[in-house]
Amino acid sequence: MASSIFNAPCTVPAVNGKNYFGLKPAVNNDLRFDVGKTTSIIGCPKRVFTVRASEKKDGPLKKLGLNDAECEAAVVAGNVPEAPPVPPRPAAPAGTPAVPSLPLSRRPRRNRKSPAMRASFQETSIAPANFVYPLFIHEGEEDTPIGAMPGCYRLGWRHGLVEEVAKARDVGVNSIVLFPKVPDGLKSPTGDEAYNDNGLVPRAIRLLKDKYPDLVIYTDVALDPYSSDGHDGIVREDGVIMNDETVYQLCKQAVSQARAGADVVSPSDMMDGRIGAIRKALDAEGFQHVSIMSYTAKYASSFYGPFREALESNPRFGDKKTYQMNPANYREALVEAHEDESEGADILLVKPGLPYLDIIRLLRDKSPLPIAAYQVSGEYSMIKAGGVLKMIDEERVMMESLTCLRRAGADIILTYFALQAARCLCGEKR
Ligand code: PBG
């Protein structure tokens, strides 16, 4: 039942389990209930909404045919109509110590005492419209399961991808981000396949836009899936990741994605100055309307392990610590945020998500721009693994973690749980 969702705002709880019945919540505030209709536009399937205010036990009370004045006169005359008695005080179990009540002027538990009150005072909401669904694609025709990410697949771009997008849209998730698994034969030290207009990503974008013109498509801008070195930039002989030369390639990649129809390009590479350069390149080609979501505070995290397995994009040597941020750093996120803001980023992203809630809150408080959080592969896989082993309740932990990312200040969340969580919010089970 819907009220099992972690304090979700869509949950109108059953009071006493009696007063409200037949409720099927919709979570997207933009959606209106159309009684009797089951079609969906770009939200949850519409549901019939039935609220019964009271149960008929002994039938309705008989009216005596008195007017207001007669009713008042009866009460003044001491003829007070009967109402249910004052309820008895519930008994405590035998052995409960008898203590004087604490002299508290504030008892915060008062506002939590019933599901209806908790729903009234919930500060954070979460809806399918807040999710961006990351999807792995490949050239194959079949969908290949990703071992380290139960429930995730490398989707065939012509079939599985289109079907997965349709499922997501059915429950109100209308934003996706694409990650390609590129054949080894197309990888090179300079990652030139990244800006092939007929490459996997541009082809997939064109196909999706043809089928779903209103789908919001985010793309990843970085060389790692295309680099024979598995790094986000061009690697010099001595192992140094070359900054400005990489930015040159990224500009071409972003323009190629925009040309195919991408709505938001998302540089995840962490090179310096790439936001300004990409903005300039997009504008020069007539793509003023294409947004940039910058991976502003992207940390050199071990939580990306399963993702790299998914794309077979592990760095061939070394690590990404000369461009991704040190997980021990907080203030440095502000340096990146100031740069990205002044270079024209439209959205600032923090990655990973849950272990970096303080950074999300920092950017939320310091920047007027929308904030995105990326609940990365390792976070997803840990919750899945805990669920499979029956160590935690997967669905509740999933909803709680997503709600916490919103509470910390994320407007949107990139999450592999997007479909599963949206189904939950729409009151559907898999
Ligand atoms: C690479 C990229 C990575 C992720 C998104 N884009 C991996 C990395 O930086 O090595 C990780 C996403 C995840 O772990 O879910 N540009």
The pTM for the full model equals 0.86
Average pLDDT over residues 154-171: 98
Going from the C-alpha of 393 to that of each of 4, 257, 265, 385, the distances in angstroms are 11, 39, 35, 11
Judge whether residue 252 has pLDDT over 60.
yes
Sequence-distant (≥ 6) Cβ neighbours of residue 370 within 8 angstroms: 346, 347, 348, 411, 412
Backbone angles phi, psi at 86, to 5 degrees: -60, 130
Cis peptide bond N-terminal to 352, omega within 30: yes
Q: Which of 414, 428, 378 is nearest to 133 (CA)?
A: 414
Give yes or no for residue 370 having a pLDDT over 90.
yes
Per-residue pLDDT, 56: 55
In ligand 1, the atom with minimum distance to the C-alpha of 268 is 16
Q: State the pLDDT at residue 60.
A: 75
Tokens of 216: 């919001």
384 bridge partner residues: none
- Residues marked active site are found at 298, 351
Calpha distance 32→26 (Å, rounded)? 9
- Residue range 256-312, pLDDT digits in tens: 999 999 999 999 999 999 999 999 999 999 999 999 999 999 999 999 999 988 888
Structure tokens at 296: 């502003």
In the structure encoding, which two tokens stand for residue 229, read together? 């070195």
Pairing between strand 216-221 and 144-145? Answer: unpaired
154: tokens are 């490398």
> Is 90 exceeded by the pLDDT of residue 181?
yes
By alpha-carbon position, which residue is closest to atom 10 of ligand 1? 304
Assigned token pair, 269: 């590479």
* Position 121 pLDDT exceeds 90: yes
Q: Which one of 249, 376, 383 would you pick to mutate in the ligand 1 pocket, going by the greatest count of ligand atoms within 8 A of its CB?
A: 376
Q: What pLDDT, on a 0 to 100 scale, did the predictor assign at position 5? A: 40
The CA distances from residue 100 to 92, 106, 110, in Å, are 14, 16, 19
* Residue predicted with more confidence, 420 or 9: 420
Residue nearest to atom 2 of ligand 1 (CA): 268
Q: What percent of the chain has pLDDT over 90?
A: 82
Spatial CA neighbour of 300 closest among 226, 389, 376: 376
Q: C-alpha angle with apex 31: 28 to 37, nearest 5 degrees?
A: 125
**Contact residues of ligand 1, CB 6 A cut-off:** 220, 222, 224, 232, 268, 304, 307-308, 320, 376-377
Mutational pocket test of ligand 1: of 224, 350, 354, the residue with most ligand atoms within 8 Å of the beta carbon: 224
E strand or H helix at 295: strand 291-298
pLDDT (0 to 100) of residue 55: 54
**What is the distance between the alpha carbons of residues 237 and 120, in angstroms, rounded to a whole number?**
61
Residues in Cβ contact with 214 at an 8 Å cutoff, skipping those fewer than 6 apart:
42, 174
Q: Lowest mean pLDDT: which of 103-107, 299-303, 424-428?
A: 424-428
Question: Which residue is it, tokens 């979700």?
Answer: 8
* Centre of ligand 1 from the C-alpha of residue 23, in Å: 40
Ligand 1 centroid to residue 402 C-alpha, Å: 19
